[in-house]
Amino acid sequence: ILNVEQSPQSLHVQEGDSTNFTCSFPSSNFYALHWYRWETAKSPEALFVMTLNGDEKKKGRISATLNTKEGYSYLYIKGSQPEDSATYLCAPSNDYKLSFGAGTTVTVRA
């Protein structure tokens, strides 16, 4: 199991503002990194699966970058909306399984 750190643990954002947060993981034997969004009372939903150093992926207003050499990934939310309020989980892998972080909980204030 990998040691995965997500920071900050929580953040509050004003509607319309942009924000970003970090996932840090051991860089050795990197295989893949996943990002999931988990809204209250719903199922966690996959945002991105990233495998290559320097990867950048985008889904609407949300994007992610990956640095496998230094062991981190950033998730960006542009122009935050109330529906972006959720816990964002990252999960890197160095073998057949994912190791989840504890998540960053984002609250968007109208």
Partner 1 sequence: DAMVIQNPRYQVTQFGKPVTLSCSQTLNHNVMYWYQQKSSQAPKLLFHYYDKDFNNEADTPDNFQSRRPNTSFCFLDIRSPGLGDAAMYLCATSRDTVREKLFFGSGTQLSVL
Please report, as ranges, the residues that interact with partner 1 according to CB under 8 A: 1, 4, 31-32, 34, 36, 41-46, 49, 51, 89, 93, 95-103
Smallest distance, partner 1 to C-beta of residue 38, A: 8
Token reading at 48: 């991105």
> Which residue is it, tokens 């204030």?
109
Smallest distance, partner 1 to C-beta of residue 40, A: 11
The three-point CA angle 86-30-88 to 5° equals: 0
Smallest distance, partner 1 to C-beta of residue 14, A: 24
**13 versus 49: smaller Cβ distance to partner 1:** 49
Taking the C-alpha atoms of residue 101 and residue 21, their distance in angstroms, rounded to an integer, is 13
**3 versus 14: smaller Cβ distance to partner 1:** 3
Smallest distance, partner 1 to C-beta of residue 16, A: 28
Taking the C-alpha atoms of residue 18 and residue 108, their distance in angstroms, rounded to an integer, is 10
Please enumerate in sequence order all residues whose Cβ is within 8 A of that of 8, keeping only pairs 6 or more positions apart, or say none: 21, 104
**42 versus 70: smaller Cβ distance to partner 1:** 42
**7 versus 51: smaller Cβ distance to partner 1:** 51
Taking the C-alpha atoms of residue 85 and residue 106, their distance in angstroms, rounded to an integer, is 5
